[in-house]
Amino acid sequence: MKKIEQGALFLQRHLALFKCPICGEAFREVVGYQLVCQLDHSFDLSRKGTLFMITHKVKSEYDSPEMWQARRKMLTLGLFDPIIAAINEAMPVEEKLNILDIGSGEGTPPAKLKKLRAGIEYTLVGVDISKSAVNLATSYQNDNFFCVADLAALPFADQSFDCITDIFSPAAYHEFKRVLRPHGKIYKIVPNSGYLKELRALLYNEESAHRTYDNSAVLSLFAKNFPDYQKQDIKYTFEFSETDFSSLLMMTPLNWGASQQTKQNVLETPLKQITVDVSLLTAAKQ
């Protein structure tokens, strides 16, 4: 079955998950490869079986095919494996869950989650603002569905998801709460001060604001929205070959503030391991 056919079948089976981002009405039907709402607004499936559901102009620094390919390489090697395992262990084990993956990127985390939950039936929809990332995500041979969407205006019905996963993505908690069912869970990964600290030290001097990271504002905002949250620290060292270091450098926004000369110098002295230092924040909608 072609990707576009798989996408149409997914929409037919899960039509109730979506709402029109133009008028806010429910979708009425799938006509061929087109999703049509109650007021006749329509959205076409791409050949890759994805939906583009942003109704305004978008300029994103994250829409770089090279960056997403680099991220795919490092995540395939296992850079985030312990993070994904921790999310899976924290999730309910029952079947029939609807999971929304915020900032799904090139699709490796939801693909690895699918393998960890083999034998458990659930529905996963991934959203990202980057069309390049969503296109790459469809290269995995699984039944995860992806769409290009703005997390601040999610094209989903109220109370339509049991779980939300969010690895390093920004948050629009008013939207997250809207689409979560009562007592639905959110699983958010935030970086701690030690995240990729070796790379920070190579790219920036001690006077640079990029040399360190403080997540207190992120934690405070999460706590404001979910006062009864739980926090699990996850810290480990990930080893890789020198030839993969360029992919690590390219995949992370950490390099955006460094000069081209600095990045070139860094590539000449590649790292062989990196510290991953994050926290998993888990909370339930009240």
d(CA 37, CA 26): 6
pTM: 0.95
pLDDT values of the chain reduced to their tens digit, one per residue, 286 residues: 899 999 999 999 999 999 999 999 999 999 999 999 999 999 999 999 999 999 887 766 667 899 999 999 999 999 999 999 999 999 998 888 999 999 999 999 999 999 999 999 999 999 999 999 999 999 999 999 999 999 999 999 999 999 999 999 999 999 999 999 999 999 999 999 999 999 999 999 988 888 889 999 999 999 999 999 999 999 999 999 999 999 999 999 888 888 899 999 999 999 999 999 999 999 999 8
Burial track 110-128 (b if 16+ CB lie within 10 A, e otherwise):
bbbbbeebeeeebbbbbbb
Cross-sheet strand order for the sheet of 145-148: 51-52, 145-148, 122-128, 97-102, 161-167, 180-191, 273-284, 230-239
Residue of 162, 210, 212 lying closest to 187 (CA atoms):
162
Name residues whose C-beta falls within 8 Å of residue 268's C-beta, 6 or more positions apart in sequence.
none
In the structure, how many helices (H) and strands (E) does the chain have? 10, 11
What length is written for the chain? 286
Rg (CA), the chain: 19
